[in-house]
Amino acid sequence: MSLLGASLATFAAAQQLTLSPSLATPGQVVTASLFNDTGGLLAVADTCEATLLWHSGELAEGLLVLGQACDALVAISAGQTHTWQFLAPSSPGTFLATFDPAIGNRAVARLDVTAASASPQQLAFFPKGIHFPHSAHQADFSDPASLPWQLSNVGTAAHTFGPNDRIEITVPGGTQVLRTLSLDTLLVGAGKAVDVYLPIAGLTPGPYTVVAIFQDPGTGGEVRTRAGIQQRASRVDLHRMGRRSIAIGETTEFGFTLAGFP
């Protein structure tokens, strides 16, 4: 079975995520509800696995979950629902909320802040570990299966990708396509997500550009999502949430990470 086929095989086990309200004002408290429709016990990492993104796959403002401890494991029985609350971003826009449980596939939902977009992008492509921004874009080129990325659908209908939908690998700034992965016939259910694996087999370790190209049913046009990957190695990273403006006299927090050091 191909890696793409393997992700399709696990699609049946998924959860349902709903947000209330789905149209919020900046800073408003939003209630998220995760329903277990897998038919079995679902263990989840309570808050650390909740992520809010722009549709480009860029992290939004920090998702502040209220009243719960990070990494508290919660077991949700079949047919049961777990709820938690978080603050909507202070910036207007359309966001993708995703929940990555310890067992089962991701559940996703759309959150509009201030005003709903008339033609919102419904599909998003980003690293599965995006809630760890310092390591999400790292690849082990000796093990291509170590790099799962996520395709999410926040639309109200299932989506099947077409023959021109694909993922391409190029060198940074280059135009020559080194590897291509077709997404043709890949099905993503409404409010669901599936894994795909980047076509990096045989590439020399180094920095590359990943481009996902697909027709989006929400916008009705072609979407191109670009991201970078690099070889996993020892390094120091400074990182912060995307699209955060810093006014004169204001301060902001940065993450500081040492990776791969003994």
pTM, 2 dp: 0.74
Q: How many Cα neighbours within 13 Å face the side chain of 246?
A: 9
- Give the amino acid at 210: V
pLDDT truncated to tens, each residue of the chain (262 aa)? Answer: 223 333 332 333 447 889 999 999 998 999 988 888 777 777 776 666 677 888 777 777 656 666 566 666 778 888 888 888 888 888 888 888 887 665 555 688 999 999 887 888 999 998 877 766 667 788 878 887 777 888 999 988 999 999 999 999 999 888 899 999 999 999 999 988 888 999 988 898 889 999 999 999 999 999 998 888 888 765 555 666 555 677 888 877 666 666 555 4
The answer to whether 199 and 180 have CB atoms below 8 angstroms apart is yes
Encoded tokens for 88: 């909507």
Angle at 194 between CA 169 and CA 77, to 5 degrees: 155
Angle at 94 between CA 90 and CA 95, to 5 degrees: 80
The answer to whether 99 and 32 have CB atoms below 8 angstroms apart is yes
- Give the amino acid at 249: G
Encoded tokens for 81: 């629902």
